[in-house]
Structure 1
């Protein structure tokens, strides 16, 4: 009877990650929040468990596997820095739902290596299930 009571009270959804969470972007000196017009910059990020995030990761994994097999066959990889930036940007664009208080598109943000301090924060935030 105890097992029946436990099973009846169990709800799997209580243990699922949320679909999105907000990242409070820190300044490049990491001395407080990044502000634009006096307001904190925030980015809403999809969890790794969403379909969008899984699709984006699948594309990266497939490209990595393809490059690995090509290298094993002795083919030279034609990777470029620009290609790596574009691949990372593509994933972060897919997992970003909105940017608050920073008038730039996700594409423009993630394709700009000089904004790497923000890009790294988003990537780290997205990779931590505890945020969701």
Structure 2
């Protein structure tokens, strides 16, 4: 039985980008500002099943909870298993100023891996 269609957004300014996943589901990002922290929904067009998707809280690897990540510009892999994102780093011990770096992680927030170094001539720190 085909589920009844549902309106996701009736204002085109509210909707965000769509992404077709390998399993046939569609990732729908809720709003234009979703680039910063994209809550969204995984929708199965065949069954109508909807699953909420949010970026889990994460910490910078090897910092024992001293530096938390604020993900931005998150992209979910087409198989739904990994994410890549830029993150503003906040040093809770105030030893270093904030910076924006690139990371990868499992979609559930585990296995966070830093891709770019904190201090470099190519990737300067943000004061």
Q: TM-score, normalised by structure 2?
A: 0.23
Higher helix share: 1
Higher strand share: 2
Q: TM-score, normalised by structure 1?
A: 0.22
Relative contact order, CA 8 A, sep 6+: which one is greater?
1
Higher CA-based Rg = 1
